[in-house]
Structure 1
Amino acid sequence: MAVCLVTGATGYIGGRLVPELLAGGHDVRCMVRSPARLRDLPWASRTEIVTADALDADATRAALEGVEVAYYLIHSMDTGDGFAASDRAAASTFAAAAEAAAVRRIVYLGGLCAGEDLSPHLRSRAEVARIFLGGQVPAIVLRAAVIIGSGSASFEILRHLTERLPVMTTPRWVHSRTQPIAVRDVLRYLRAWASVPGEIDRAFDIGGPDVLTYADMMRGYAAAAGLPRRLIIPVPLLSPWLSSHWVGLVTPVPAAIARPLVESLRNETVCREHDIAAYVPDPPGGLIRFPRAVALALQKIKEADVATRWSSASLPGAPSDPLPTDPDWAGGSLYVDSRTLICDVPADALWRVIEGIGGENGWYSLPVAWRLRGALDRIMGGVGLRRGRRDPRRLRVGDSVDFWRVEELEPGRLLRLRAEMRLPGLAWLELSVHDEGDRTVYEQRAIFHPHGLLGHLYWWALTPFHSLIFGRMPGGIVASSRLP
């Protein structure tokens, strides 16, 4: 059994790979920038967690000490001019650190692509692959196209476009051919390379048995989900930028994440070889076909058994600063809206409502106003309210809750959410419960750290709106906690 390091353990694939490696008997070390986000995961106590950024050579070198197989699952989803340079620098730093630490193998999950006219993100994935393959440490590069699994960004786009639009006018990329692969097969390939012997140093194309267009996948999803056949009318006018905003409005996936995915769809992504079968044989029943992959994903969603989601990873441009506990931290103003309500509801009943906030349960005050705020956020390219929750009843640090992220959780006492909506500043919502004998105290704080003059204007302009929203929340939460 090998000592494995997994980067990107807070992301969609990494969060699923770690328990697979543990089940295979491997020792696992997770390299993350925010260890707190792994704290509440059921497998976290069985791993070693180290703090490091792939751009920090010394920290990365220390994290790789004693590691045999290193999984590189870091992908930038930014759309700014500097993302490719950042990807290049991180991969180069990691490759050099792996060589210095005498790592036996690097495993990288990249993008399936061919030709010269690649999207910027596919081009960056290909460059990262070349860096690892050109290094001194033997590297396995697995090149995948669309990954079909409950919670993946690609699957969420496919699912919501198909479910919400029985008739679609779509860009030309819906007729680009691709070779989707089930997330179970991706994880099987990744897990296997912790044990395959030899110094193999090459890239492998990985894909499922079916070669489909995106239109085929939408029709296939409709059939698997029991929906009527979808009518798809392609139009030539939707650019990737317009397409990403269109996807951002229809699906829970914000435009910032949709854009690199949509841009990549203009390229044909079909496997040119299946050489990996010589090292990792196909399972007895063969690779999972597209209809089966969709059915498995839908079953997971139905059972609320989605281990990781695309929203597990930080969103491009989302704030990652810790909660300011002292106003001096802000170097200026911190705006705080505080509310307290004393009630006779048992603390545990009140906590159940707090931990279940958001998603289908809503926010217990003026639903129309919350929906309006979510719609405005989506128009501005944010996540809005459609992201929902991973689990309808339980939360853990790092979970997304609509346009919030769980930053701190003390079961039965404190829930702190950090805003990931588009804002001219940083914002938090803190809900807490205190049991004082024959009464329970509910406390609520909305905190805003403005950025520049626009941030100050934003707070003051929305103060009446905040008073309505936040002012009604305590009463709504307490009233709901009285229900059986």
Structure 2
Amino acid sequence: MLGARGYVGTLLTPALRAAGHAVRTMSRSQPPGPDAVRGDVADGAALDRAMSDVDVVYHLVHSMDRADYAAVDADIARGVAAAAARAGVRQIVYLGGPSPVDQPMSEHLASRTEVGEVFLAGPVPALVLRAAMVVGAGSTSFELLARAARSAPIVLRPSWMDNRSRPIAVRDVLYHLVRAASSGPVTMAADIAGPETVTYLELVQRCARIAGLPRRVPVPVAGIPVAATAAAVTDLPVPLVRALVESLKHDLVPSEVLDPPPGGGTSLDRALREALGVGDPPAMPDEGTPGVIRQVRRERVAAPRAALAERIAEVGGKRGWPGIPGAFALRGAIDHLIGGVGLHRGRPTTLTVGDTVDSWTVAGRTEHELTLVSDVRMPGKAWLRLSALPGRTSAESELEQTVAFAPDGLPGRLYWHLRKPAHDMVFAALALGLARETTREAMTGRR
């Protein structure tokens, strides 16, 4: 593996070994050993030592900390391709960047494309995996936006913040890289991407939301050196930041991508939680847990259980919350005023644990059940569970709504009792509204 000390390389080495592969690494900074070669990728002799008896070569080298990185990286790629041919390597795997069509490429993306073309035209079969932003702690492009989300209540909004991308979780990148080690030799370029398409501004807002911060206030800018400002915030070299910022000025949404890992690609919210070091949401306490207040409501639904489960899985976001109009929005506005996540609105299409739904986070998810934990500020922790239960016949079902609250001492108990009348109305209306909507949609066939 070339570039083993880089961000992806440090994660890929143990992932390959866990999959049963022997790994030899090469880096300028690592101590030499039986499975490690210390050397420069520009040194042909060092490459020959590193590739001796190697089946697959991973090329994870970039020279973006210097002004002439494009020419340097192209020369290195040609040397690596030649050394791989001399060693009889079966496959080269290169992790590059996307190649936007119908628009001039930034120097950074043009360099990644050129390196990929060097390998594709070389004598050894080459798999070029093209990823836009890799979401992970240590990914430089991700850290630029993540720090912008966390550093201040405002965010600079140049026009390119409206450009779109399909960020991919680093765990999914590792899946594709590890899978390449066991695949037959191929020569091809393929895009890999996460399941969601978002603008860079939306990505900043999602970072803030996952971190438990209010929405950032976007401030349009013109004439401000954004790259230099970002470099100052992140302590990264200005040439590196400038190259990455220039690449953000593209729409980076591929038309076709490789199939995701089994079970689907990692959701953006889940990837952000892992990258930002935010732990899993707390699960709803079991029934009978001391000190936890529970309320259960049931509503009969004249629709099959599957239809009710599908409607439950669609709560929030564009479909909103049935019941008293504006009730949840008002609570969010109050939370926003006191510095909470408040007015965040939105959700991914398919929900998994850790995803956000407006002012809630998914704490549990099964085929017929959705459990949410509230993220608004309160003296305690609140959960909402919506379950689709079987009905008396296959054409009927029953909605079970469970609200649980774990008060934080006396302030929490007072909060619950003071707000109980309003909570009772809001959640009763939600249960009834979900039941009626599901029944109406089942009868009319409209959603």
Q: Secondary structure of the residue that 1:91 maps to in structure 2?
A: helix
Q: Secondary structure of the residue that 1:7 maps to in structure 2?
A: coil
Counterpart of 1:267 in structure 2 is 250
Q: How many residues align?
A: 279
1:16 aligned onto 2:11:
yes
Call closer, same or farther: CA 1:93–1:267 in 2, change over 3 Å.
same
Call closer, same or farther: CA 1:157–1:52 in 2, change over 3 Å.
same
Q: CA deviation at 1:121?
A: 1.1
**Where does the alignment leave 5 or more consecutive residues of structure 1 unmatched?**
1-5, 40-44, 303-484
Pick the aligned partner of 1:290 from 254, 268, 271. Answer: 268
Pick the aligned partner of 1:62 from 49, 74, 96. Answer: 49
Partners of 1:156 and 1:252 within 8 A in 2: no
**How far apart, CA to CA, are the structure 1 residues paired with 2:3 and 2:41?**
10
Query: Cα deviation per residue 1:26-45 (whole Å; 9 max; x = unaligned)?
Result: 11101111223xx8xxxxx8
1:139 aligned onto 2:126:
yes
Q: CA deviation at 1:79?
A: 4.6
Counterpart of 1:255 in structure 2 is 238
TM (norm. structure 1) is 0.55
Q: Secondary structure of the residue that 1:35 maps to in structure 2?
A: coil
**How far apart, CA to CA, are the structure 1 residues paired with 2:181 and 2:116?**
18
Call closer, same or farther: CA 1:128–1:301 in 2, change over 3 Å.
farther
Partners of 1:157 and 1:253 within 8 A in 2: no
Q: Secondary structure of the residue that 2:94 maps to in structure 1?
A: strand
Partners of 2:37 and 2:46 within 8 A in 1: no
From the CA coordinates, give the structure whose radius of gyration is larger.
Answer: 2
Pick the aligned partner of 1:199 from 178, 185, 205. Answer: 185
**How far apart, CA to CA, are the structure 2 residues paired with 1:245 and 1:261?**
12
1:181-260 map, 5 Å? 181-196=168-183, 198-238=184-224, 242-260=225-243
**How far apart, CA to CA, are the structure 1 residues paired with 2:190 and 2:163?**
21
**How far apart, CA to CA, are the structure 1 residues paired with 2:243 and 2:176?**
24
**Amino acid in structure 2 at the alignment position of 1:138:** P
Partners of 2:135 and 2:169 within 8 A in 1: yes
**How far apart, CA to CA, are the structure 2 residues paired with 1:253 and 1:84?**
19
Partners of 1:175 and 1:213 within 8 A in 2: yes
**Amino acid in structure 2 at the alignment position of 1:251:** T
Partners of 2:227 and 2:238 within 8 A in 1: yes
Counterpart of 2:73 in structure 1 is 87
TM (norm. structure 2) is 0.60
1:164 aligned onto 2:151:
yes
1:154 aligned onto 2:154:
no
Query: Cα deviation per residue 1:394-446 (whole Å; 9 max; x = unaligned)?
Result: xxxxxxxxxxxxxxxxxxxxxxxxxxxxxxxxxxxxxxxxxxxxxxxxxxxxx
**How far apart, CA to CA, are the structure 2 residues paired with 1:300 and 1:8?**
28
Query: Cα deviation per residue 1:459-482 (whole Å; 9 max; x = unaligned)?
Result: xxxxxxxxxxxxxxxxxxxxxxxx
The structure 1 segments of at least 4 consecutive aligned residues displaced by more than 4 Å after TM superposition are none
Q: CA deviation at 1:301?
A: 9.0
Q: CA deviation at 1:96?
A: 0.6
**How far apart, CA to CA, are the structure 2 residues paired with 1:29 and 1:164?**
39
Give % identity. 43
Larger RCO (CA within 8 A; separation ≥ 6) = 1
Call closer, same or farther: CA 1:72–1:300 in 2, change over 3 Å.
farther
Partners of 1:171 and 1:237 within 8 A in 2: no
Q: CA deviation at 1:223?
A: 1.3
**Amino acid in structure 2 at the alignment position of 1:180:** P
Q: Secondary structure of the residue that 1:50 maps to in structure 2?
A: strand
Partners of 2:273 and 2:279 within 8 A in 1: no
